[in-house]
Amino acid sequence: MAKKGVILLNLGSPDSTSFEDVRTYLDQFLSDDRVLDLNPIFRKLLLKLIILPRRPKQAGEAYDKVWTDEGSPLVVTSVAQQKLVQENTDTPIYLGMRYGNPSTESIVAEMKKDDIDDLMIIPLYPQYAMSSYESAVVELMEQLRAQGMAEINTVLVQPFYKDPQYIDALWESIRPSYEGSGAHLMMSFHGIPQRHVQKTDPSHDHCLKTKDCCNTPHPAHATCYSHQCYAAAYALMAKGGLHHDDVTISFQSRLLKDPWLKPYTDFEIERLAKEGVKKLKVICPAFITDCLETLEEIAMEGKEQFLSLGGEEYELIPCLNTHPAWIKWLNDKIERWET
C-alpha cells in the first residue's frame, strides 16, 4: 500500500541576520537562473564583484528589523502552518524551502527515509512565476531524481489564485481590519521583470504584446503571473463588494534597472498621498506568509513614505499566515486528495 506524504514549498530565508548567512542565502537565491536570468558568466561576475560584497550588509540590517526571538518570520510562521495542518491529518506533512533551511534536499532525504511513495506537492504561491512556483517545483523534482525517488507518484497543486475557497479565506482574513475603516485598499503584489512574463508565454506573442493582454482570454494565462495577479485582485474585489475606485493594484520589490511589472508600489503610495488619500491599508496577496518584503518593505518603509507625504493612517494587513480559514483550505485540499 502506498505511503502518502504532503510537502509544502516556500521560498526560504537566511539562517540568521549575520553577513555570512545573508551572503550564503543571497548567493543561492540569485544564482538561480529562474530568478536572475542573465548570461551565466555575467551573472556570476555581477554576484561576486558587485552584489555579494555589498548587498548582505544592507539586507542583514533589513532582516534585523523583522527578526524574531525564534528566528526568521517566514520560517517560524511556515513551521507553525505545517504543525497546524498536521494536527488535522495522519498523513505526514513536510516543509521544504527553495533556498536556505529546511532545504528541499534535506526534506527529500527525510521523505525517502520515511518510504514516501505517493506525494502531494503544495507550492505556497497563489500565482505562477518562473522565479517562485516554477523554481520551487523544478528543484523538488530534481532532488527526487537525484535521491532515487523519481518513480514515486506525485500530485502537483496548481496555482490557486482564483480558487473560490482561497479567495474566501483571503477576504475573511482581510475583512476585520478593512471593512468599515474608510481606508483606501492597496493590493501590492511582488513584482517580477517584464521579461519573465514574456518568457513564460508559450505563444511568445500575447503577454505584454497584445492590448489589454491580462484581460483578453488566452492560453498563456495558465502561466502568466501578471494575469493571475489581476485575476486574484478582481476576484477578491468581487467577494468583498469593493469598487475599483477604492482599490489600487501595484507591484513591489523591483531590483536592478530592468523594467518590471507596473505600476510600482512606492510610486503608487506617493500618488495616493499626493491625491489626498489619508487612510491606506495594504495587503500583499502574492505572499501566503509574512516575510521581509511585507514586514519591512511594506509595513515599515511604506508607512514612513505615506506618512511623510501627508497620509495619516497606514496599516499592513497580515498575510494569511496561520489564519484558520487558510489552514482549513490546506487540510481540505489534502483530504480530497487522500480520498
Residue 69 corresponds to which cell in the numbers above?
526571538
Predicted local confidence at residue 123, as pLDDT:
99
Q: Is 300 exposed, middle or buried (0-12, 13-18, 19+ CB in 10 A)?
A: middle
Fold of 4-159+324-338: Rossmann fold (3.40.50)
How many other β-carbons are positioned within 10 Å of the β-carbon of residue 102? 17
Q: What is the largest CA-CA distance in the chain?
A: 64
Residuewise pLDDT in 10s, the chain (339 residues): 689 999 999 999 999 999 999 999 999 999 999 999 999 999 999 999 999 999 999 999 999 999 999 999 999 999 999 999 999 999 999 999 999 999 999 999 999 999 999 999 999 999 999 999 999 999 999 999 999 999 999 999 999 999 999 999 999 999 999 999 999 999 999 999 999 999 999 999 999 999 899 999 999 999 999 999 999 999 999 999 999 999 999 999 998 889 999 999 999 999 999 999 999 999 999 999 999 999 999 999 999 999 999 999 999 999 999 999 999 999 999 999 998
What pLDDT was estimated at residue 256? 82
Q: Is 59 exposed, middle or buried (0-12, 13-18, 19+ CB in 10 A)?
A: buried
Environment class of 58 (CB within 10 Å of its CB; exposed 0-12, middle 13-18, buried 19+): exposed
Domain ranges in the chain? 4-159+324-338, 164-316
Count of other CB atoms within 10 angstroms of residue 106:
14
Could you read off the pLDDT of 311-326 as tens digits, one per residue?
Answer: 999 999 999 999 999 9
CA–CA dist 126, 111 (Å, integer): 25
Q: What totals of helices (H) and strands (E) does the chain contain, helices first?
A: 13, 8
Q: Tell whether residue 190 is among the known ligand binding residues.
A: yes
Instruction: Identify the bridge partners of residue 316 per DSSP, sorted by sequence position.
Output: 282
Omega before 40 within 30 of 0, i.e. cis: no
* Equal fold, 4-159+324-338 vs 164-316: yes
What class does CATH assign to 164-316?
alpha beta
